[in-house]
Amino acid sequence: MIDLHCHILHGIDDGAKDLTDSLNMAKSAVAEGIRTIVATPHHLNGFYTNPKQIILEKVEELNKHLKQENIDLTILPGQETRIFGEMAEGMDSGELLSVSHSPYLLVEFPSANVPRYAEQLFFDLQLKGIIPVIVHPERNQEIIENPDKLYQLVKKGALTQVTAASVAGGFGKKIKSFSLQLIEANLTHFIASDAHNTTNRSFKMIDAYEVIRSKFGRDTEFMFMENAVLVVEGKNLYKEAPDRIKKKKFLNLF
C-alpha cells in the first residue's frame, strides 16, 4: 500500500517532532500494510517553509535511518503546498516539489474558503503539465457548504485526495458523511493518511478502506489503491466523470 500524504519527516512542521517519532510512525505504517510513504511537509501555510531541496535532503536522511533500523518502508519526496498565485513560477524555479517528481502536485486550500483565483491557477498549472491535487477538500468549509465549487474544479481537470481518518469517522459524523458523498459522486481520486503522529493523527488507512469496501465494493477500494501507485509512477490514473452532489443529500449533512 502507498500513502501519498504524510508528515513523517521530523522537525520541519507539525508532524513528527524528532527521529524517534518518525521511526514510530514508520513502524505504525508498516503494521497497516503501508510499504511506501510520500513525505509531504507543509510549505507556505503561514507557519512553515519547506522548499524542495530541504525536503529531498530530509527524505534521504530518513531512508538511511529506516535501513539501519531494518524497517521495511520507503520514503519518497513530496510537499503539501498552501495555494498561492505564483505556483506555476514556483515549479519553474524549483521551489515546489510534486509527488515523487511526478506531474501531480498536492495543493492545500485555506480551511475556510476556496480562493477565487484557484480555477485560473489550476488552468495555468495544467498548461505546464502539472496536475493539481486538492488535499482534504472534505474539511474545507466553503466546499462543505457549496460542493459545486469542488465539482467545477474537478470537471476542469483537478484531482482530490480525501483523508483516511475522515472516511473512518475520525473527524466526526458530518465529515465522514460528506467524504462518502465525495466518493459516490466521483469527486475524489485518492485516499491518504495525512498522518502527523501515532496518537491523535495516525494513519487509519485500514479503517478507511474497510468503510469504502463496505459502502462501495472492492472495485472502488482497489481503484484508490491503484491510483496511488499510478501517481507515484507518473502515469494516468483511473477516474470517472464527476457528478454534482444532490442538494437533498447535501442538506442531510446538517
Mean pLDDT across the chain: 95
Residue 72 scores a pLDDT above 90: yes
Kindly give, in sequence order, each residue whose CB lies less than 8 Å from that of residue 179, ignoring residues fewer than 6 positions away.
Answer: 138, 162, 163, 166, 167, 188
For the chain, give the percent of residues with pLDDT over 70: 97
* Cell numbers at 202, concatenated: 495516525
In the numeric block, the cell 513560477 is attached to 89
Residue pLDDT, tens place only, 105-131 = 999 999 999 999 999 999 999 999 999
Q: What is the C-alpha to C-alpha distance for residues 187 and 245, in angstroms, rounded to an integer?
A: 9
How many domains is the chain built from?
1
Report pLDDT for 7: 98
Residue pLDDT, tens place only, 131-168 = 999 999 999 999 999 999 999 999 999 999 999 999 99
Rounded to the nearest 5°, which phi and psi values hold at 61? -65, -45
Mean pLDDT of 2-15: 97
Domain that holds residue 43: 2-251
- How distant, in Å, are the alpha carbons of 90, 207, 209, 217, 235 from that of 213? 38, 10, 6, 4, 24
pTM of the model: 0.94
Which amino acid appears at position 189 of this protein? Answer: H
Residue 95 scores a pLDDT above 70: yes
- CB-CB contact of 205 with 32 (8 Å): yes
CA max distance for the chain? 54
Q: Which residues of 76-101 are buried (b: 16+ CB within 10 A; e: fewer)?
A: bbbbbbbbeeebbebbeeebbbbbbe
Q: What is the CATH number of the domain that holds 206?
A: 3.20.20.140
Q: What is the C-alpha to C-alpha distance for residues 57 and 91, in angstroms, rounded to an integer?
A: 18
Q: What is the chain's Cα-based Rg?
A: 17
Report pLDDT for 249: 53
CA dihedral 169, 178, 141, 168 (to 10 degrees): 20
Instruction: Report DSSP state, residue 170.
Output: T
Residue pLDDT, tens place only, 196-248 = 999 999 999 999 999 999 999 999 999 999 999 999 999 999 999 999 997 65
- DSSP H or E run through 226: helix 218-232
Which amino acid appears at position 227 of this protein? Answer: N
Instruction: Report DSSP state, residue 204.
Output: -
Report pLDDT for 247: 60
Report pLDDT for 254: 47
